[in-house]
């Protein structure tokens, strides 16, 4: 039946935060999305550019021969990413584009850590467009690193009027938009997991 919530399994979700800006609104958006995902029974790990504090990318992990030379936080984050089912990206837009903190964070990890996973985009802005220009570019990036981006992009326009500082929703669009995204993440992730368990992945 169209619109039916079919997700039955608990998914391991990695949530990338897209902003390192002072007084970032990303915090309230991530709190809301985290709560919605956990309420739906999913296990969520947050990878935050502020906490990771990575330098400007010079070399991806995939080109480093000895990972003992890398920060332990990076190695552990990559292990979590490898073992995840689903990736959710929380992103504003900077100059109508992907925030540099987000692309820098994503690019530090090996492409192999992302492949054959499902991804979802949550974007936001203080204005009416909800970060959609960055979302269109993110969809291209997420495809290039090997993920399957679900059809629904959860855009949040006028974000400070949509969520309070604690991440509590201030309008009906928030929960309905999150529910649609999470339902699609569950459907696609379960289908992909079943296929991988049955046939593995292409070499």
- Is 66 among the domain residues? yes
Give the torsion sign (CA, 90, 11, 105, 151): negative
Please say whether the beta carbons of 102 and 19 come within 8 A. Answer: yes
- Is 16 among the domain residues? yes
User: Phi-psi region for residue 130, left (φ > 0), alpha (ψ -120 to 50) or beta?
Assistant: left
Q: CATH code at 69?
A: 3.40.50.360
Please say whether the beta carbons of 107 and 94 come within 8 A. Answer: no
Nearest 5 degrees, angle CA 194-CA 192-CA 198?
35
> What's the average model confidence in pLDDT over 141-169?
97
Answer whether 0.85 is exceeded by the pTM: yes
- Is 91 among the domain residues? yes
The number of distinct structural domains making up the chain is 1
- Is 89 among the domain residues? yes
- Is 128 among the domain residues? yes
Is residue 170 helix, strand or coil?
A: coil
Count CB-CB contacts under 10 A for residue 86.
Answer: 26
- Is 53 among the domain residues? yes
Residue 2 has pLDDT above 60, yes or no: no
* pLDDT tier for residue 1 given thresholds of 50, 70 and 90: very low
- Is 7 among the domain residues? no
Domain around 65: 12-199
User: Looking at residue 202, what is its pLDDT?
Assistant: 87
Phi/psi for 35 (5° steps) reads -65, -40
Residue-wise pLDDT for 82-106, tens only, equals 999 999 999 999 999 999 999 999 9
- Is 171 among the domain residues? yes
């Amino acid at each position: 039946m169209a619109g039916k919530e079919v997700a039955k399994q608990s998914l391991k979700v990695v949530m990338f935060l897209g902003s390192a800006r002072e007084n970032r609104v990303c915090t309230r958006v991530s709190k809301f999305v985290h709560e919605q995902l956990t309420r739906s029974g999913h296990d969520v790990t947050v990878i935050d550019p502020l906490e990771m504090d990575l330098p400007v990318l010079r070399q991806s992990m995939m080109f480093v021969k000895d990972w003992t030379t890398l920060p332990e936080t990076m190695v552990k984050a990559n292990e979590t990413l490898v073992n995840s089912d689903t990736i959710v990206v929380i992103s504003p837009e900077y100059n109508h584009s992907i925030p540099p903190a987000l692309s820098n964070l994503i690019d530090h990890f090996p492409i192999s850590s992302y492949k054959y996973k499902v991804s979802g985009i949550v974007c936001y802005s203080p204005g009416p467009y909800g970060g959609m220009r960055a979302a269109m570019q993110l969809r291209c990036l997420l495809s290039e690193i090997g993920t399957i981006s679900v059809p629904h992009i959860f855009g949040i326009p006028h974000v400070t009027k949509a969520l309070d500082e604690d991440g509590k929703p201030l309008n009906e669009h928030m929960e309905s938009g999150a529910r649609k995204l999470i339902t699609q993440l569950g459907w696609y992730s379960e289908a992909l997991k079943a296929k991988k368990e049955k046939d593995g992945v292409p070499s």
